[in-house]
Amino acid sequence: MRQIVLDTETTGIDPNEGHRIIEIGCVEVIERELTGRNYHVYINPEREVEAEAITVHGITNEFLADKPKFAEVADEFFEFIKGAELVIHNAAFDVGFMDSEFARLKPVRKTADHCGIVDSLAIARKKHPGQKNNLDALCKRYGVDNSNRDLHGALLDAEILADVYLLMTGGQTALSLDAGSGDEGGDGGIRRISGERAPLAVVRASSDEASAHDEFMAMMEKQAGETVWSRLQATE
């Protein structure tokens, strides 16, 4: 399966008020492996970026002045995501902006008609109900390094989200249990231990430890009536 982990930055929060996309960041994942193939572009929104939005992502009007307009990058962006499953944190926000941008062009394209959409925020809320599930909170929960994330940035956030999503939906990704080579490596990431290894040492309880254990179990049996330990001892 080909997945694209995607994030955008915008001039404001509502495309219905004329706000536009100013940055797109995409990270390609195939069969749960990061391929290293990314898509990243800054976009001239043909309007002012709200001051509040600048405090979030740090992208200024001056910086965007010489960047391409969405119409100039729409085809290459669409070709990159077409047919893939998009993984987006709070997908309704980004997809709403993408559809608004595509609606300005001919032919009109609707994201859901060409891509699958997975909302990683919805997955996080289901796995961790009642907890914070923004990207910073998930990084802390899953041990993903986000120390470079002073401001929001579409590509950086997409790269971080890719790590979080893979950990959140399938366990280990960066560290494999398979050492990677030799007879002891398994195809499924299982490291097999040689039968010729030295036997493990067995440390047996001393007489004092055994007596203390018997006294403790006798107390437990007096309180509970019967213990699993006593039943096991009776069968020996």
Binding-site positions for substrate read: 7, 9, 52, 57, 157
Distance CA 67, CA 35 (A): 27
Residue 213 annotated in active site: no
Phi and psi of 34, rounded to 5°?
A: -70, 125
Distance CA 120, CA 134 (A): 10
- For the chain, the maximum distance between any two Cα atoms, rounded to a whole number of angstroms, is 85
68: tokens are 């391409």
Residues forming the annotated binding site for a divalent metal cation? Answer: 7, 9, 157
Question: Which residue among the candidates 19, 40, 89, 152 is catalytic per the annotation?
Answer: 152
Is 60 in contact with 93 (CB distance < 8 Å)?
no
DSSP secondary structure string, 130-169?
Answer: TS--SHHHHHHHHT---TT-SS--HHHHHHHHHHHHHHHH
The CA R_g of the chain, rounded to the nearest whole Å, is: 27
Decide the pairing of beta strands 2-10 and 33-42. Answer: unpaired
Residues forming the annotated binding site? Answer: 7, 9, 52, 57, 157
- Cα 57 to chain center, whole Å? 20
Active-site positions read: 152
